[in-house]
Amino acid sequence: MLEKELISALELRSSLRLFDETDALRVFYGPGESSDAIGSQIAIDIFSDQAWITQWAPIPDKVLKSLVALLQQKLPERCRGIVLMDRSEVASEADSVPLDGEVREGKFVVKEFGIPYLVQMKNTKHPGLFLDHAPLRRWLTRTQKDKRVLNLFSYTGALSVAAGAGGASSVTTLDLSKPTIEWAKENWDQASLIRSKGDFIFGDVFDWLPRLKKKGLEYDTILCDPPSFSRTKTGAFSTGKDLARLHGLILPLLAKNGVLVTSINSENIPERAFLSEVENAARQTGTRLQWLGRVDLPESFPTPLDPKQRYLKGFYLRSV
Ligand SMILES: C[S@@+](CC[C@H](N)C(=O)[O-])C[C@H]1O[C@@H](n2cnc3c(N)ncnc32)[C@H](O)[C@@H]1O
C-alpha cells in the first residue's frame, strides 16, 4: 500500500514539475496522501541529495527499512543520506537520527526559486526551512523591492532572506532563540545580501514590539508566524488565547498601505476564529484592513477536502 502511495505522490510532484524550481520539497505528505494507518503518520522531505523522514507515530522497523529501500530505488540522486525525525512524543528533546547512506555533516545550501538557504540534517530537530511556507517565500521574492520588512518569530530567517532577495530596503529579523538568530545571520550572509540592510534581534516579540513603536519605526511589510505555544521571560503565549493581544501590538507598526502577512500553524483554530482575533485588534487600534488573500499550504502538501486538515492558515492584509 505504502509503495503505491509513494509512487503516486512522486508522480504528482513530477506532473506538476515541482522540482523544476526547487531542490527542497515535500515528496510525501502522509496525512493527505495515505489511507494507511502507518503511511498517514509519515512525511518525506527532500533537501538536495538528502531525505528527511518525519514520523508522527512509531513506524515498525520492517516498514521503515522497506521505505528507505524504496526511496533509494525511486530517488537515488536525492536520497544519498536519509534521516528520521521522531515526532511521536510531543515533548521529546531528541534530534533527528541518521538512518542510511551518507548523511551530510553541518549546514549546506539548498536552492528554492533560485535563492539559497542553509539547512541541516544532523544534530537538529528541524532542517531549518519550513517547506509549507514556500508560497510565502515566493511572494516575498516578487514583491518586496524597496520595502521595510519586519519578520517576527523569524526562526532561521528564511522569510527574511526571501524578502532581502526580493529587494527589500531593510529587513529586521526577530526571534527568541539565540542559535536560530545566529542561523538567520548565516542565511543572510550566504545569500550575499548586504549586511547593513539586515538587522537581527535576539529577543521576545512582546517585549520588542512596544520598543520598536517607541523608537517611531514603521514597516511596509510585517511577517508574523508564531508557534502554537511559547514560554517567555514575561509569561506564556498561545495562539488559543493571545492572537488579539499580539496583533494589537503589531498593527501600530504597520505603515499606511503596508501589508501584514499573518499565519498560524494550529489545526484546532478555525480560520474564521483567527480572523476575528485580528479584526478585534484592528478595531482596538483603529486600523482599517483590506483582505488581499490567503496564506495556505502548497500543492506539495495535498490534503483531504475537510478544511480542518489544512493546518496552516493565514492572511495577507493591507492597512488602508
Ligand atoms: C513557527 S517558527 C517560525 C517559522 C518562520 N516563520 C519560517 O517561516 O521559517 C516559530 C519561531 O518563533 C520563535 N519564538 C517563540 N516565541 C517567541 C517570542 N515570544 N518572541 C520571539 N520569537 C519567539 C521560536 O524560537 C521559533 O523560532
Identify whether residues 302 and 158 lie together within a single domain. yes
82, 154: one domain:
no
* Residue 126 located in a structural domain: no
Statement to judge: residues 91 and 232 lie in one domain: no
Which ligand 1 atom sits closest to the C-alpha of 159? 8
Which residues, 6 or more positions from 142, have their beta carbon under 8 angstroms from its beta carbon? 166
**Distance between Cα 16 and ligand 1 center (Å):** 31
Q: Is 118 inside any structural domain?
A: no
Domain contains 314: yes
Q: Maximum CA pair distance of the chain?
A: 60
Domain shared by 171 and 214, yes or no: yes
Cβ atoms of 128 and 156 within 8 Å: the answer is yes
In angstroms, the CA 311 to CA 67 distance is 26
My answer on whether 197 and 71 are in the same domain is no
**234 to 180, 204, 205: CA distances (angstroms):** 20, 9, 11
pLDDT value at residue 171: 98
> How far apart (Å, rounded) are the C-alpha atoms in residues 26 and 33?
12
pLDDT the model gives residue 199: 98
Residue 113 falls within a domain, yes or no?
Answer: no
Kindly report which listed range (55-59, 306-310, 314-318) carries the lowest average pLDDT score: 306-310
Q: Which residue has the higher pLDDT, 1 or 311?
A: 311
Show the CA angle centred on residue 164, arms to residues 154 and 310, nearest 5°.
Answer: 45
Q: What's the gap in Å between 2 CA and the centre of ligand 1? A: 34
The pLDDT of residue 91 is 66
Q: Is residue 34 assigned to a domain?
A: yes
In a domain, 111, yes or no: no
For the CA atoms of 18, 171, 174, 155, what is the dihedral angle to 10 degrees?
20
Q: Does residue 46 fall inside a structural domain?
A: yes
d(CA 90, CA 117): 27
The atom number, within ligand 1, closest to the CA of 158 reads 9
The range of the structural domain enclosing residue 90 comes to: 2-105
CA dihedral 107→110→116→120, nearest 10 degrees, is: -20
Distance CA 87, CA 284 (A): 39
Say yes or no to pLDDT of 233 above 90: no
* Residue 312 confidence (pLDDT): 95
Pocket of ligand 1 (CB under 6 A): 130, 133, 153-156, 158-159, 174-177, 180, 204-206, 225, 227, 230, 232, 237, 265
Ligand 1 centre distance from Cα of residue 196 (Å): 23
Name the domain count of the chain. 2
Final residue of a structural domain among 54, 71, 105:
105
- Mean pLDDT across the chain: 96
Residue 302, all three cell numbers: 495535498
In this structure, is the dihedral angle defined by the CA atoms of residues 141, 146, 150 and 155, taken in order, positive or negative? positive
Ligand 1 geometric centre to CA of 315 (Å): 18
**pLDDT digit string, tens, across residues 167-223:** 999 999 999 999 999 999 999 999 999 999 999 999 999 999 999 999 999 999 999
Domain boundary among 88, 105, 122: 105
Tell which residue, 128, 187, 195, 134, has the closest CA to residue 155: 128
How far apart are the C-alpha atoms of 232 and 63, rounded to whole Å? Answer: 40
Look at ligand 1, atom 26, and give the residue with the nearest C-alpha: 155
Could you tell me if 199 and 306 lie in one domain?
yes
Query: Do 168 and 282 lie in a common domain?
Result: yes
CATH of the domain at 313: 3.40.50.150
In a domain, 122, yes or no: no
Helix, strand, or coil here: 252? helix
Instruction: Between 41 and 92, name the one with better pLDDT.
Output: 41
Q: Domain end: 87, 105, 123, which one?
A: 105
Out of 141, 151, 153, give the residue to mutate to test ligand 1, the one with the largest number of ligand atoms within 8 Å of its CB. Answer: 153
> Which domain CATH number covers 81?
3.30.750.80
What pLDDT is recorded for position 268? Answer: 87
pLDDT the model gives residue 131: 98
pLDDT, mean of residues 108-124:
97
Same domain, 176 and 34: no
Tell the residue number behind the cell numbers 526562526, with chain if given. 155
Kindly report the pTM of this predicted structure: 0.97
Residue 307 has pLDDT above 90, yes or no: no
On whether both 97 and 136 belong to a single domain, the answer is no
Could you tell me whether strands 115-120 and 107-112 are parallel, antiparallel, or unpaired per DSSP bridges?
A: antiparallel
Asked if residue 236 and residue 278 are part of one domain, the reply reads yes
Strand partners, 81: 50, 101
- Burial zone of 18 (CB within 10 Å; 0-12 exposed, 13-18 middle, 19+ buried): middle
Average pLDDT over residues 299-309: 93
**Are 78 and 146 part of one and the same domain?**
no
> 93 and 143 share a domain?
no
